[in-house]
Amino acid sequence: MALKGAIVVDTEKCKGCSVCVVNCPTKTIALTKEVNSKGYNYAYMAEPQTCTGCTNCATVCPDTCITVYRVKI
Amino acid sequence: MDLKDIIKPENLVYKRTKVLTDNVMHYCPGCSHGTVHKLIAEVIEEMDIQDKTIGISPVGCAVFAYNYMHIDWQQAAHGRAPALATATKRLYPDKYIFTYQGDGDLASIGTAEIMHACNRGENIVVIFINNAIYGMTGGQMAPTTLLGMVTSTTPYGRQADINGYPLKITELIAQLEGTCYVTRQSVQNAAAARKTKKAIRKAFENSKQMKGTSFVEVVSSCSSGWKLTPTQANEWMEENMFPFYPLGDLKDI
Ligand SMILES: Cc1ncc(C[n+]2csc(CCOP(=O)(O)OP(=O)(O)O)c2C)c(N)n1
Ligand code: SF4
Ligand code: SF4
Ligand code: SF4
Ligand SMILES: [Mg+2]
């Protein structure tokens, strides 16, 4: 059985700190080239197929702007 | 599998706790303050004590902590949060009272208050954010600043002969009979943050059981004060802060 996950980032709250990026064990997350209204490059799923829904990124995000979903397949 | 088949309410495994407000935090990107706020809010939600919890915010970057959690708050004069917490707990013994203090607040101007509140064994929780610097005022040396560490008031690095030695105040607190639980944690990665959450939970449980003062230090980063990126700051913390401020329980009775 495998785990498939997905994250949803509140792109307006994200400050582009990269703490989620370095904490993702599957290297799913990167920062966008575009910026949000505050001028921050924000987190997104650059490799959506690799996310396992482990919640590490959401746990460490200082601005709590990540929601995590997970399914067993 | 399509994302739209994963992103469904029934598959939700992590969402922002409702104890946090919707306000965007004023903290710098990557600041540990935000992570610790979230962990406290999650513990309050899990213990279902939102209407019974009163936080005492400090002077320091966390002075505005009251904007970020839907609980009752007071804001203390610099370093005096333990005195305010003492009064509040004694007036409302059924409430959960916690102070939230930086190292400048707790280990410098507020040393007398924290020592005596802990020595009296007030049934409060103390959350101590040790980022080894005065973050709010522009990165000046704190009592907890490491030897050799560059700050705006120690541009050549802290020197023992001029500036004295970094203060391990948590080790002093652990010796006081009034404390029941003294621990040092961190939040730079998910495993560390989960441990810190457990420690905060235990501290709040202790206060329900009137066991005395519970003291949770969180070794934290201040990327702005340290002049590093948020991820560099976390690495610097692991390399330099953890050897001097080792993580783990100092006391648990
Ligand atoms: C009585 C008093 N003295 C000095 C100050 C100036 N001051 C504001 S915040 C601060 C130190 C904050 O450092 P810390 O407690 O470590 O919090 P941080 O910002 O690092 O989280 C100082 C000295 C003040 N506001 N009030
Ligand atoms: S940890 Fe949070 S604020 Fe930082 S980049 Fe990731 S989503 Fe954005
Ligand atoms: S849930 Fe886990 S695998 Fe998915 S993006 Fe977050 S840290 Fe990476
Ligand atoms: S100055 Fe330091 S402690 Fe204050 S918000 Fe910025 S990173 Fe956090
Ligand atoms: Mg500080």
Mean pLDDT computed over B56-76: 98
Query: Does the Cβ of A45 fall within 6 Å of ligand 2?
Result: no
pLDDT-based confidence at B43, cuts 50/70/90? very high
Domains along the sequence of chain B with CATH:
3-252 (3.40.50.970)
Look at residue A1 in the predicted model and tell me its pLDDT.
66
Look at residue B119 in the predicted model and tell me its pLDDT.
98
Give Cα separations from B125 to B41, B194, B235 (angstroms): 14, 18, 28
* Token pair belonging to B201: 């939970």
pLDDT-based confidence at B208, cuts 50/70/90? very high
* Token pair belonging to B216: 């949770």
Pair A16, A40: CB distance under 8 Å: yes
pTM value is 0.98
Look at residue A51 in the predicted model and tell me its pLDDT.
97
Look at residue B197 in the predicted model and tell me its pLDDT.
98
Taking an 8 Å cut-off on Cβ atoms, the answer to whether B6 and A61 are in contact is no
For the purposes of burial, counting CB atoms within 10 Å of the CB of A2, is it exposed (0-12), middle (13-18) or buried (19 or more)?
exposed
Whole-number Å distance between alpha carbons of B243 and B10 = 44
Mean pLDDT computed over B33-40: 98
Query: Does the Cβ of A54 fall within 6 Å of ligand 3?
Result: yes
Helices (H), B156-227: 160-163, 169-174, 190-208, 223-226
Mean pLDDT computed over B160-165: 98
Look at residue A3 in the predicted model and tell me its pLDDT.
81
Smallest Cβ–Cβ distance between A62 and the set B8, B15, B34 belongs to: B34
Nearest Cα of chain B lies from the Cα of A62 at a distance, in angstroms, of: 4
Look at residue A2 in the predicted model and tell me its pLDDT.
81
Which of B222, B227, B234 gets mutated to test ligand 4 (max ligand atoms within 8 A of its CB)? B222
Whole-number Å distance between alpha carbons of B3 and B5 = 5
Does residue B166 register a pLDDT over 80?
yes
Whole-number Å distance between alpha carbons of B43 and B36 = 11
Nearest Cα of chain B lies from the Cα of A12 at a distance, in angstroms, of: 9
Percent of chain B topping pLDDT 90: 99
Q: What angle do CA B3, B41, B211 make, to 5 degrees?
A: 140
Question: What does the pLDDT profile of chain A (73 residues) look like in tens digits?
Answer: 688 999 999 999 999 999 999 999 999 999 999 999 999 999 999 999 999 999 999 999 999 999 999 999 8
* Token pair belonging to B80: 């005096």
Selection from A65, A67, A5, A69 nearest residue A36 by Cα: A65
ipTM at complex level: 0.96
